[in-house]
Amino acid sequence: MRVLSGIQPTGFPHLGNYFGMMKPSVELQNAGEAFYFIADYHSLTTSPEPQELRRRVIETATDFLACGLDVSKTVFFRQSDVPQVAELTWILNCVTPVGLLERCHSYKDKIAHGKPANNGLFSYPVLMASDILICKSTTVPVGKDQKQHVEVARDIAQRFNNQYGEILVLPSPMIRDEVAIVPGTDGQKMSKSYGNTIEIFGEEKKLRKKFMSIITDSKPVEEAKDPETCPVFALYKLFATPAQVEEMAGRFRAGGLAYGVAKQELFEMFWTQFAPLRQRRGEIAADSGYVESVLKAGGEKARAIAETTMAEVRHAVGLR
**Which amino acids are annotated catalytic?**
110, 189, 192
CA distance 284 to 63: 9
The type of residue at 93 is N
- CB of 187 within 8 A of CB of 4? no
How many beta carbons lie within 10 A of that of residue 202, not counting itself?
A: 13
Q: What is the Cα–Cα distance from 67 to 181, expressed in whole angstroms? A: 20
Give, in order, the Cα–Cα distances in Å from 235 to each of 15, 185, 187, 250: 9, 10, 10, 16
State the pairing for strand pair 172-174/139-141.
Answer: parallel
Paired sense of beta strands 74-78 and 33-38, if any = parallel
Packed helices 84-93 and 290-317: angle between N→C axes, nearest 10 degrees: 40
End-to-end CA distance of the chain: 31
Q: Which of 169, 142, 140 is nearest to 35 (CA)?
A: 140
Compute the distance between CA of residue 78 and CA of residue 56 in angstroms, rounded to an integer. 12
CA 281 to chain centre: 19
Q: Residue 251 in contact with residue 257, Cβ under 8 Å? A: yes
Separation between Cα atoms, residue 271 and residue 261, nearest integer Å: 15
